[in-house]
Structure 1
Amino acid sequence: MLGFFTAKPYSPKLDIKADFVSVRGGDIEKKIELFKKAYYERILYGTSTGHDAFYVVGKWDGKKHYDEIQLSKYPDIVWEGTMLNWYKVPIGNYVAITFPSFRFGSYYVVPTENYIKYKKEEIRKALEAGAVGLEFDEPEFWHRAGYSEAFKRAWEEFYGEKWVDPESSYKARYKAEKLKAYLYLKLAEEVFNFVKELNPKAECILNPHSPINYAEMFQARSSWGGITAPIALSLQIEALDSILGEVWSDTIKANFMYGGYTWVDPFFHSYLERSYFENLVNNSNKKLYHLLDPKSDDPKFDWNTYRRWFEQDTLAAFMVGATNFIVAWPERLLTTFLPPAHEPP
């Protein structure tokens, strides 16, 4: 089975004749309508689990929710991501994914009860517009986070005791990461149950990176690095139908240690990550989708390099027995030539 996700409206140039499409971004109703007119019967809605701008700055309920941003103990850096021209800028103690001015900053949030209500309302609108499933992206709580008022409140509610600095002991670190995983597991379970109430036949997909990647890659993005996510735990969610293993060109070019040396081997890295996801769903009733991306987020390379990564990544997927695929952002190759901003060969 082949699908793709996109933030663009339907275009013949974008049409890869897939079995389904997952639409993201704004004007969802319009995008769903256009893909329906192009005879796409299976249209999903894709949204992030927890990196958000509009909820935080009060665009949903008129109240600012800066106390619900994941907060670190030390100031850090963040990627400025306008048009994928990545460079690092100071962000203070907030944890964010990118900080383009036109999006007010895309913050990682603590999934509170109020935030869960916000996500349900957002998703309900997409389902009412004709989406027949949900693709729920990247349930991520950073290791360096755990200092916001929202997280402290969640700690007291979950453990029945006052918050403890996660850095104060190994026990405190374990308890902090356990709570982080629980909060995103709760978010996913409540949202997927909500989707099934609205449409019992809807497909619910969760999109984590691999634990290998969460442990290593983000050292490049943050001086503190590391992410906690409820990956294996998510299989216990009855309403969850599928996992999309987010293995792609920007994860497979990360450094890894082997035999005491640091190596970069995109094919080997992809094979290792994809093997993890194949084993994760083995003997379960969950479907596995493998992610393929024709164009990296990273703008510093030429098209021949992107093609080589794509071929190595795709080969690894076939070698682990992949049968279901979702292509990420085909518009980067077919319609919108982001950096390097010229038409691919």
Structure 2
Amino acid sequence: MVYGVGGNPSDKHKGKSFEERVQSWRERGYSTHFMTGIAWGEYQDYFTGQWDGKWHLDEGQVERSGDTIWHGHLVPYIVPTANYLKYLKEKHVKRVIDAGIDAIYLEEPEFWARAGYSGAFKREWQAYYGFPWRPQHESPENTYLSNKLKYQLYYNALKDVFTYAKEYGKSKGMNVRCYVPTHSLVNYSQWQIVSPEASLASLDCVDGYIAQVWTGTSREPNYFNGTAKERVFETAFLEYGSMESMTAPTGRKMFFLTDPIEDWPRDWVDYKKNYEATFTAQLLYPKIADYEVMPWPDRIYEGLYRVSKDSDVKAPIPRHYSTQMQVMINTLNHMPLSENTVSGSHGISVLMANSLMFQRFPTHDSYEDPQLANFYGQALPFLKRGIPVKTVHLENVSYKETLKDTKVLLMTYSNMKPLSAEGHQYIAKWVKAGGALVYSGRDEDPYQTVTEWWNTNGNHYARPLDHLLEKMGIPAGAAGGEYTYGKGTVYILRNDPKEYVLKAGGDQQLIQVVKDLYGRKSTEGLVFKNHLYLERGPYDIVAVLDEMEDAQPFTVAGPVIDLYDPTLPVLTEKVIQPGRQALLYQLKRVSDPAKPQVLASASRIYDEQVSGNSYAFVCKSPLNTTNVMRVLLPAAPRQFSVTDPTGNPVSDVKTSWDDSSHTYFFQFENHPDGMHVKVDW
């Protein structure tokens, strides 16, 4: 992905045009795609008047104080006006298509919840609603209207630009594909950002998404058992899950991003630990096997960060970490799609909706939802007990696949509201057919009474839940307890879900209710444990959860290659402690074990040749990094050779033979033009 027509700040000193940058990658054998921001970017020529002779800094997103929210020097977060979109199409999208680019990524359609006070936004309000702008801080209704507009503006913006890209590409005989790299609904809700998210999947001009989940998003603290802290693995698992469930019923393409560092300066030890956590989380979704790797490679390989938490010494990426990272990334080349499922009791789902983003800022009537606790209060009590909890999107319930595998649906309207009445008929139908719905909520938050479909146009429901209850023959404002509808069950808990996690032991009633309902749907009942385990082809993926009474480690029987260890050891067993994760190559499940093959490597393998008793290949990886490999051979090696791209033999090669696994270990320096390896036995 070549970023930005004008590059990004780290490209500036290289002085290459966009077309030269594209060509430089094509010369190395890469297919080139294009990515740029839609809510911000190096668009100073637009803001300072070079494009059309008018200054446009007044089109930035503005807070109540009158301050513009900036992404960089003369780079505001943008209110996507028609004029700005015209500039983006003419100056950027047209140029990249003319350069032969047939895949375009417009990333991060973001409107800050605290914004909404600029002249540009006020004009968009008048045009959309037909009445003058109202300050969002003055009432919940104004906040709701403000955020609905922010949501709609970026929905329209992406539809406009992508439609142009596809039509312009078609005029040149090209099939241009259009993708949206976006943070998860979980993260945007927690960070108080509004974005179109799930609704984009309904657009014909959107081919798919990149789930932008990484340590920076997943380390945002949340509450569980009365404690707020970082829970990187658990948050990443829920973030990736919300992105998968957002698109799975729609058939849209989904790439998962994972990043070995993050935007915020930390230390290399921290980056490594949390990269393993997010990487493991993404691999636990066996129906997705497309990934974005190493975003901003210059900051990964050239950035200077602290060597440890307590050190002031800054250094480039340690060799052991770059080696491990490259092993992990090259593993993704072989990560198969799988019909296998993560271990544990399946069928617990948490309902989400895009309106989760609408109620986050500002606070009204002193109603607080600390760190998105109303969401995590439904998900973490089960995930922490080894249940691979899923999220489902209210916008997708009309697809029959959405609730097909759900036994118990957890739901609240304390942190979101249904944007239409339609979803309720599908939820009611699912309950009637035998589903179990657990609704948690006091329904006292200030957004219950905003002017919306449930209290206008002949509807007179005091709160949106009452409309759903009526469909199931349950009285409005029903008290807590169990109700029957058709073959299904509705259980109402008159607690906001945040109460389950804001105090220690607060989730006990929820756990008991769900356990009871699940037991009626499943002969084996709800099984609690402290780990998640998945087999994908030859790979074992494990996460062991902490903070629970069960503090036992999880053991995987070998022989396995430990892919999170840069020495690629062969282990007779791997013991994973609570709070840690593992990615293992299970040697008992090697495909075609009689065939010589590279099982794991910190480089990418090309031009493999097997003849007689020899195996040869080329391996490529970045300069100034160390390659490690474990190669499966039919017998102990008799001799080997490693030569550099110019044909000179390499003498500094470390090797070792593991007779129990019939694998040969190599270590030598990498080269992007290819190191040539040959082994005889």
Whether TM exceeds 0.5 here: the answer is yes
Go from structure 1 to structure 2 and tell me whether the alpha carbon gap of 1:7 and 1:51 turns closer, same or farther (over 3 Å shift).
Answer: closer
Aligned residue identity for 2:123? R
From 270, 280, 283, the counterpart of 1:305: 270
Q: 1:14-60: CA deviations, max 9, x gaps?
A: xxxxxxxxxxx9732111111111122x3111000111451222232
From 167, 188, 204, the counterpart of 2:158: 188
How many residues matched? 294
Q: Hey, what's the Cα distance between the residues in 2 that align with 1:277 and 1:338?
A: 32
- Does residue 94 (structure 1) correspond to residue 78 (structure 2)? The answer is no
From 22, 30, 33, the counterpart of 1:44: 33
Residue of structure 1 equivalent to 2:589: none
Aligned residue identity for 1:32? V
Residue of structure 2 equivalent to 1:285: 251
From 76, 79, 83, the counterpart of 1:107: 76
Alignment of 1:253-268 (within 5 A): 253-268=219-234
Q: CA offset at residue 5 of structure 1?
A: 6.2
Q: Hey, what's the Cα distance between the residues in 1 that align with 2:159 and 2:87?
A: 15
- Does residue 62 (structure 1) correspond to residue 31 (structure 2)? The answer is no
Q: CA offset at residue 6 of structure 1?
A: 5.8
SS of alignment partner, residue 232 of structure 1: helix
- Does residue 252 (structure 1) correspond to residue 213 (structure 2)? The answer is no
Q: Hey, what's the Cα distance between the residues in 2 that align with 1:238 and 1:303?
A: 42
Q: Hey, what's the Cα distance between the residues in 1 that align with 2:219 and 2:82?
A: 37
- Does residue 343 (structure 1) correspond to residue 316 (structure 2)? The answer is yes
Is the CA contact (8 Å cut-off) linking 2:4 and 2:34 kept in structure 1?
no
Q: Hey, what's the Cα distance between the residues in 1 that align with 2:253 and 2:260?
A: 23
- Does residue 32 (structure 1) correspond to residue 5 (structure 2)? The answer is no
Q: CA offset at residue 198 of structure 1?
A: 2.1
- Does residue 165 (structure 1) correspond to residue 135 (structure 2)? The answer is yes
Q: Hey, what's the Cα distance between the residues in 2 that align with 1:26 and 1:308?
A: 36
Larger Rg: 2
Q: Hey, what's the Cα distance between the residues in 1 that align with 2:4 and 2:200?
A: 26
Q: Hey, what's the Cα distance between the residues in 1 that align with 2:317 and 2:205?
A: 41
Percent identity reads 30
SS of alignment partner, residue 35 of structure 2: strand
Aligned residue identity for 2:299? R
Residue of structure 1 equivalent to 2:510: none
Q: CA offset at residue 145 of structure 1?
A: 0.8
Q: Hey, what's the Cα distance between the residues in 2 that align with 1:211 and 1:156?
A: 28
SS of alignment partner, residue 249 of structure 2: coil
Q: 1:122-179: CA deviations, max 9, x gaps?
A: 1111111121111111000011111111111111111111111112211111111111
Stretch of structure 1 that moved more, 321-330 or 55-64:
55-64
Instruction: Say which structure, 1 or 2, has more relative contact order (CA 8 Å, 6+ apart).
Output: 1
Q: CA offset at residue 263 of structure 1?
A: 2.2
Structure 1 portions without partners, runs of 5+: 10-24, 76-92, 99-103, 219-225
Q: Hey, what's the Cα distance between the residues in 2 that align with 1:146 and 1:170?
A: 14
Q: Hey, what's the Cα distance between the residues in 1 that align with 2:244 and 2:212?
A: 12
Superposition TM-score, scaled by structure 2 size: 0.42
Q: Hey, what's the Cα distance between the residues in 2 that align with 1:177 and 1:7?
A: 28
Stretch of structure 1 that moved more, 53-62 or 142-151:
53-62
Q: CA offset at residue 8 of structure 1?
A: 12
Structure with the higher fraction of residues in helix conformation: 1
Aligned residue identity for 1:56? F
Go from structure 1 to structure 2 and tell me whether the alpha carbon gap of 1:7 and 1:111 turns closer, same or farther (over 3 Å shift).
Answer: closer
SS of alignment partner, residue 94 of structure 1: coil
Residue of structure 2 equivalent to 1:271: 237
Aligned residue identity for 1:206? V
SS of alignment partner, residue 315 of structure 2: coil
Residue of structure 2 equivalent to 1:331: 298
Residue of structure 1 equivalent to 2:488: none
Q: Hey, what's the Cα distance between the residues in 1 that align with 2:213 and 2:81?
A: 28
- CA RMSD in angstroms comes to 2.1
Q: Hey, what's the Cα distance between the residues in 1 that align with 2:317 and 2:285?
A: 29
- Does residue 203 (structure 1) correspond to residue 203 (structure 2)? The answer is no
Residue of structure 2 equivalent to 1:156: 126
Is the CA contact (8 Å cut-off) linking 1:68 and 1:149 kept in structure 2?
yes
Q: CA offset at residue 97 of structure 1?
A: 2.2
Is the CA contact (8 Å cut-off) linking 1:8 and 1:331 kept in structure 2?
no
SS of alignment partner, residue 188 of structure 1: helix
Q: Hey, what's the Cα distance between the residues in 1 that align with 2:2 and 2:259?
A: 10
SS of alignment partner, residue 199 of structure 1: helix
From 165, 169, 178, the counterpart of 2:148: 178
Is the CA contact (8 Å cut-off) linking 2:63 and 2:69 kept in structure 1?
yes
Q: Hey, what's the Cα distance between the residues in 1 that align with 2:229 and 2:305?
A: 26
Structure 2 portions without partners, runs of 5+: 7-14, 307-313, 319-681
